[in-house]
């Protein structure tokens, strides 16, 4: 089902989920589209449309059941399906992403990190070991993990990318600010942090 | 003009710009929609449509002038208008964002960082000083900077957010994985890293 949803809908559902998770922790049982709308500064009609699109029904004056809506979003977006990944590069960004608690809640499990720096190899980040990048091929073959989160500096990104492909990585989530060239069989998702900020500026007219 | 463009168009234009910057450095004079399409794995018709929407004209069999298209995107998306911001939290993510070279190329200039940790205060990250968070109000008043990039842990995010609002911050780019409650006069952009990954999984059918 999720592939039928637009990227923007997926993005909004993920944000609704963050609220539902908080409400669930606070043991609040119901939530209205108006509450979601106000918290996220998203049009209420849009909120209702999104929730309707995943077949969740609210009750008049009561709103949606927090646990039901949370469960439906989990199912629709496959949060319960664990996706394991390697982080390539144990610099500040690689370490920050490895510590990012939200990932595991959404089904993304970072298995370990890889770096070429001997001073970093052998250390652990929140229980995840930093391995020598030379061991990557072996780890891919042993674990079957084929998702890599690339956080190396721009200068070496393409070189490291070529190495990842050679090691059997099939999906690369690229945080390096450069466009990577890969064979057709490998898919790259260029994370675009600055694009996100530019959108913010555009929406809010920040100049 | 940029507010008339959709978020997805802005996102794609930012990616085209990354390629154009590389081509420009390599002193390549022309680029075709087919080249952009292949590098980004985006439909060629879409590329042509986007470029047409910002009034850049290509030449048959030659393509677009790299410098012209680069200049038009810079103008349309205001990359030449410097937007100064503070980073709140000098942990791994705050430091990574402060070092992220791409930001400055796109007009986002990180002025300095703030933290409450005495061991961090006084240090510099790529020439940007880490100040005591207690000095924020004074720095906002003196500089007029009203954009904050929030990278604190989830647990303290709302508390720190309230403090930012009290200090006169008007725009918050929130990397903490929680929804912040702010007055109407303050705008929050919830960065949604996991949403981006979920989109990747959806598009590529990663399960």
Contact flag B18-A93 (C-beta cutoff 8 Å): no
B contact test, residue of A9, A10, A128 with most B CBs within 10 A: A10
- Nearest in space to A145 (alpha carbons), one of A82, A51, A59: A82
A30, A56, A82, A97, B159 from A70: Cα distances, Å: 11, 10, 17, 24, 26
CA of A6: how far to CAs of A72, A102, B88, B203, in Å? 17, 22, 32, 10
CA dist A99 and A105 (Å) reads 12
Contact A179 B19 (CB under 8 A): yes
**Set of chain A residues whose Cβ sits within 8 Å of the Cβ of B83:** 201, 206-207
Q: Specify whether the CB–CB gap between A89 and A51 falls below 8 A.
A: no
Q: How far apart are CA A33 and CA A204, in angstroms?
A: 23
Q: What mean pLDDT do residues A98-123 have?
A: 92
Give the residue among B100, B145, B144 at the shortest CA–CA distance from B126: B100
Given a cut of 50, the residues of chain B with pLDDT beneath it are: none
Residue A82 pLDDT more than 70? yes
pLDDT of residue B20: 93
How far does the CA of residue A20 sit from the closest CA of chain B (Å)?
A: 10
Mean pLDDT of chain A: 90
Question: Which tokens hold the place of B37?
Answer: 């399409």
Is the ipTM of this structure higher than 0.85?
no
Kindly list the distances between the CA atom of residue B121 and the CA atoms of B50, B124, B129, in Å, as whole numbers in the listed order.
45, 9, 8
Which helix (H) or strand (E) is B150 found in, with range? strand B147-150
Quote the minimal CA–CA distance from B112 to chain A in Å: 17
d(CA A80, CA A71): 10
pTM given for the model? 0.85
Q: Render pLDDT for A20-31 as a digit per residue (tens, 0 to 9).
A: 988 998 899 999
Structure confidence at residue A194 (pLDDT): 78
Q: What is the pLDDT of residues B24-51, one digit of tens each?
A: 988 999 999 999 998 888 899 999 999 9
pLDDT at B41: 81
Per-residue pLDDT tens for A147-163?
A: 999 999 888 999 999 99
Q: Chain B residues with CB inside 8 Å of A184's CB?
A: none
State the pLDDT at residue B207. 65
Nearest Cα of chain B lies from the Cα of A130 at a distance, in angstroms, of 16
The CA distances from residue B90 to A9, A31, A119, in Å, are 32, 35, 22
């Amino acid at each position: 089902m999720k592939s039928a949803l637009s990227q923007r809908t997926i993005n909004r559902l993920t944000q609704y989920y963050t609220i539902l998770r908080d409400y669930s922790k606070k043991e609040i049982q119901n939530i209205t589209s108006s509450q979601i709308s106000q918290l996220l500064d998203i049009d209420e009609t849009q909120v209702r449309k999104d929730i309707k699109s995943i077949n969740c029904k609210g009750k008049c004056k009561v709103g949606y059941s927090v646990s039901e809506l949370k469960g439906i979003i989990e199912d629709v977006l496959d949060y319960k399906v664990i996706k394991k990944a390697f982080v390539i590069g144990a610099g500040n960004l690689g370490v920050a992403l490895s510590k990012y608690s939200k990932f595991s809640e959404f089904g993304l499990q970072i298995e370990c990190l890889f770096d070429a720096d001997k001073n970093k190899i052998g250390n652990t980040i929140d229980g995840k070991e930093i391995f020598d990048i030379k061991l990557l091929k072996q780890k891919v073959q042993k674990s079957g993990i084929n998702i890599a989160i690339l956080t190396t500096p721009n200068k070496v990104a393409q070189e490291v990318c070529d190495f990842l492909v050679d090691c059997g990585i099939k999906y690369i989530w690229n945080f390096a600010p450069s466009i990577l060239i890969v064979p057709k069989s490998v898919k790259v998702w260029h994370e675009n942090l600055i694009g996100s900020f530019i959108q913010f500026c555009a929406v809010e007219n920040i100049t």
